[in-house]
Amino acid sequence: MQISSKIFEELKEKTFNPTSKNAVVGLDGFVDKIVTPVDKRHGLEDNFDPIETIGDLGSRISAAAGKSANIELYPRFDKLGGNGPIMANALLSLGLGVRYVGALGRPVIDPVFEEFAKKTDAVSLADPGITTAAEFKDGKLMFGNMRSLGEIDYDRILEVCGEGAFIDMIAKADVISVVNWTMIPKMTSILIGIVERIMPNLPPRDTRNFFFDLTDPAKRSTEDIREVLQVISRFQAHAEVTLGLNFNEALQVSETLGLGKGERNEESLCRMATEIRRELEIACVVVHPVESAAAATKDGSWWTEGPFTENPKITTGAGDHFNAGFSSARLCGFSPLASLALATCTSGHYVRTAQSPTPNQVVDLLKQATEKSK
């Protein structure tokens, strides 16, 4: 991982310690059941060879056409899931004060979210969805049951939170992160309600930011994607807006906006981020494949490698940790380049340990990755 000397100069001048900042995060919630597809068994429990790649699983499934197949999914563990809760947990670990609004269980909080709900003084709007996540060396497949998320709408938020309390929550937050648009059917109308009925009436402040993550919008129509992008653009009149995209999401957004196709190299990623940002007229767009990341603002574009590992302990939630690291770094006043590096190391620590990092752990990984690359 080659790190610019400018980043280390920033680390000397600024501290990556956003403990004085506050975040509001929402709106989803899932119980993640992490599983490994079994190739061949040699005994009980985890004594088996896994199906190692998505391609291998695809071949197994294709071969069953016209016949049948029994594919075992070995349970590894259940965990708190959903883009919002995972990002909120990462922000907590980085030191921010976090309020969570989302689908954690109704009328009773689901046991997997009990500790998280206490730490974030959470407001639960509905029961969580269920995701069965199969992880492979080359990616992950997530199978979701999201029926309960259809209950979440603008009126439900005001009913459960209280209109005054919700407005106050937004007003006091340094960053408001709204994620998983794809799986919350009424999210666009929720955003319209916020931008039209709440944002114009908030007192001004210097550090109000919105962070949006569409989350794999492949199953949504081009018209739906175009509409939510237009709504996201409207928030820029009231706050600094960042749109975070993984590589596939960036390709989908580029196609929706009629922009050029992209590759995973530095030049192409910077171009994609720049063109999307310019088209949406927002403050920042971030594009983050697994091995690197690019960001564009009105002042230019930046790219950095990440501390890639071929043997991650977990991959579900890596992008959410990247988003948490980037948002936190920007709140601390870091440049886009330094924020990208801190974000990739936030994600890098998580995939290596399956634990959300502290700020010191993020900086340590940044230094270690740089030393190894020399």
Q: What is the pLDDT of residues 179-204, one digit of tens each?
A: 999 999 999 999 999 999 999 999 98
pLDDT at 52: 95
Q: What is the mean pLDDT of the chain?
A: 94
| Percent of the chain topping pLDDT 70 | 98
Query: CA geometry: angle at 346 spanning 340 and 347, to 5°?
Result: 95
Q: Tokens 């939510």, residue?
A: 228
Number of domains the chain contains? 1
pLDDT > 80? residue 154:
yes
* Among 1-15, 239-253, 275-289, the least confident range: 1-15
Give mean pLDDT, residues 342-366. 96
pLDDT of residue 330: 98
Residue 274 within any structural domain of the chain? yes
Angstrom CA distances, 71 to 45, 57, 158, 195, stand at 15, 9, 44, 46
129-136 and 139-145 strand pairing: antiparallel
Query: Of 303 and 4, which is predicted with more confidence?
Result: 303
Per-residue pLDDT tens digits for 79-116: 889 999 999 999 999 999 999 999 999 999 999 999 99
Show the 3-state SS of 273-287. Answer: HHHHHHHHCCCEEEE
Q: Is 38 part of a structural domain of the chain?
A: no
Which positions ≥6 away from 59 have C-beta within 8 Å?
none
- Say which amino acid occupies 273: A
Question: Over the stretch 109-141, which tens digit does the pLDDT of each residue have?
Answer: 999 999 999 999 999 999 999 989 898 988 889
- Residue 215 is assigned to a structural domain of this protein: yes
**pLDDT value, residue 204:** 86
Structure tokens, 202 = 């908030």
Residue 373 has pLDDT above 70, yes or no: no
**Residue length, the chain?**
374
Contact yes or no for 193/156 (Cβ under 8 A): no
Is residue 69 in a domain?
A: no
- Which pLDDT belongs to residue 62? 95
Query: Would you state the pLDDT for residue 374?
Result: 58
The answer to whether residue 2 scores a pLDDT higher than 60 is: no
What lies within 8 Å, CB to CB, of 296 at 6+ separation is: 270, 273, 274, 276, 277, 278, 284, 285, 302, 336
Cis peptide before 27 (omega within 30 of 0): yes
Place of tokens 């550090």: 207
Looking at the domain assignment, is residue 59 inside a domain? no
Residue 39 burial by Cβ neighbours in a 10 Å radius (0-12, 13-18, 19+): middle
Say what the pLDDT of residue 306 is: 86
The answer as to whether 65 is a domain residue is no
Assigned domain for 148 exists: yes
Mean pLDDT of 32-36: 90
Chain mean position to CA 12: 28
- The pLDDT-based confidence of 59 (bands split at 50, 70, 90) is very high
Above 90 in pLDDT, residue 4? Answer: no
CATH number assigned to the domain comprising residue 248: 3.40.1190.20
- Identify which has the larger pLDDT, 254 or 12: 254
> What is the domain range of residue 99?
5-32+78-373
